[in-house]
Amino acid sequence: MQTQNPFFDDLARMAGGALGALSGLKAEVETLVRQQFERFMAGADMVPRDEFEAVRALAIKARSEQEDLEVRVAALEAKLAALTGGDQQSS
């Protein structure tokens, strides 16, 4: 529906133009924020997920092996104490 008043026609055109400019501004801001975030992440000292998971698996394995060795050392200390009559002190 078109009005007979050119003032309202101009106002509608200006409002439409402003909305178009705002949507363009929104896209530009999103692009700038994305670029800044990518720059930040590139500059941050972070490791990729696959490398993190590989090191995590190694740490879990090392911890398990350490616990096994602690059990073996305790058993050997008990045997040594039994062989020497229990007069050995742990250091």
pLDDT reported for residue 48: 86
Are 38 and 64 within one domain? Answer: no
- Is residue 3 very low, low, confident or very high in pLDDT (cuts 50, 70, 90)? low
Q: Which domain holds residue 33?
A: 1-45
Same domain, 6 and 22: yes
Instruction: Please write the tens of the pLDDT for every residue from 38-62.
Output: 888 888 888 889 999 999 999 999 9
Task: Report the phi/psi class of residue 81: left, alpha or beta, with left for phi > 0 and alpha for psi in -120 to 50.
Answer: alpha
Q: Is the domain of 26 the same as that of 40?
A: yes
Question: Contact at 8 Å (CB) between 77 and 90?
Answer: yes
